[in-house]
Structure 1
Amino acid sequence: MEEKEEKKPASRKPKTPKKDNSKETDKKKAAKKPKKEAEPEVTEETVFVLPGDLIGTNEEFAPGSETFVRGGDIFSLVAGTVSVNKKRRTISVIPKISTPPVIKVGDIVVGAIFNVRDSMVLLRIEAIKGEGERAFQAPVAAIHVSNVKEAYVRDMSNEFGISDIIKGKVINLENMRLTTSGAELGVMKALCPNCHTSMVKDQGKDKLKCPSCGNIQNRKIAAGFGTGII
């Protein structure tokens, strides 16, 4: 009798454990998420300042570029525009990189009189029409008695006074001479020599009157007197 061959059970392949892709999926999702952008710096440019101008205090801001501190106050080191960083609470000055304006013959300028003589007045030019607040070295200029107005001038003290703000036209660069001949040129602002109150035009007269003490003054008055418009 033949022996039956025993059938060996078929060998089973070991099951490969399923790969856990959940972590990789989470990583991909995380990678796809946009990064939160950094909060932008909030700066504000304000006024134009000159070297040495007070721009803030240590209690308000930390001093930034182009500034210096003295006694707890922050000052401008250069001529430029004040820049305030609201996030960092710093204050800086952005330097004015443009070249200073150059005065030319024919320019309309504004200046303050500091000396009145018999035949001329001396003043410091503070601004040039059309140049805004651009900084420049203020030169000394003169108005000769012959350049005040078309009519004959006997006494310069009847046309101008100390600290008067005048508008004039440049006629000579070598000697820095101005003229105030013409309706648009002349005194723009004047203070009473007695009480230092700002004077006003006396109605119906080509004179100035102090509203405080009633003092009357003669002046070569510009058409824009009291307006502040060059």
Structure 2
Amino acid sequence: MQEIWTCDKTLLRLLSSCPLLKRLTINSDGGTIDESGDLTMADLFECLRGIEYLTVWCFIFLSFLPLPRKLPTTLVHLKHLCMECVCFCHIYALPIFVLLIRSYPNLEKLKLVVTEDEVLDESYMGSSTLEDYSDISLEYLNELEILHLRNIENGLVFVKLILAKSPVLKKVWIFLWDELPKDDKLQISEILLSCPCASPMVKINVS
């Protein structure tokens, strides 16, 4: 497993020199990457063609705004994606997820670790809808895991999108934020367990 804490041309040279690298973790002490310079998401993902297991902090992608609709490099080898420091109420959260989904056609497992909403400035907060995402498809996704889900509106929008676009999804684990009121937990559970699903074999577990 290779772990990276910066994103610059040195990183790209390192990744380019490791064509057999299968597992990669990209982190950043400050959330976003101040040293990204004129690098784009396309530059970064061009060096990840062979990666099969990727762990990355969600806020890192804010270093590469504006987001493209789709990356020119399709990561056909990526099977497992873990995104940490996810904040569903961020205005770019859903666009980031959709961009990555469009670029990972063979993704089999998706894991999200949600962070607290209070870390955001109000100017970055907003609601999301499923409009313009009708072309999304996760043909091979069979596992979804979300830890510390708490934001009802945007979090549920994302889960509904995954359930509706994953025809072979088998296992869904949703672990709610411990400090959510009991009534909120019950409401979220009822909504998730009644969502329309593209897969007839999916089992949804909410706790």
Instruction: Provide the TM-score with structure 1 as the length reference.
Output: 0.24
Rg (Cα) greater in structure:
1
Instruction: Provide the TM-score with structure 2 as the length reference.
Output: 0.25
Instruction: Name whichever structure is richer in strand by fraction.
Output: 1
Instruction: Name whichever structure is richer in helix by fraction.
Output: 2
RCO comparison, higher one (Cα < 8 Å, 6+): 2
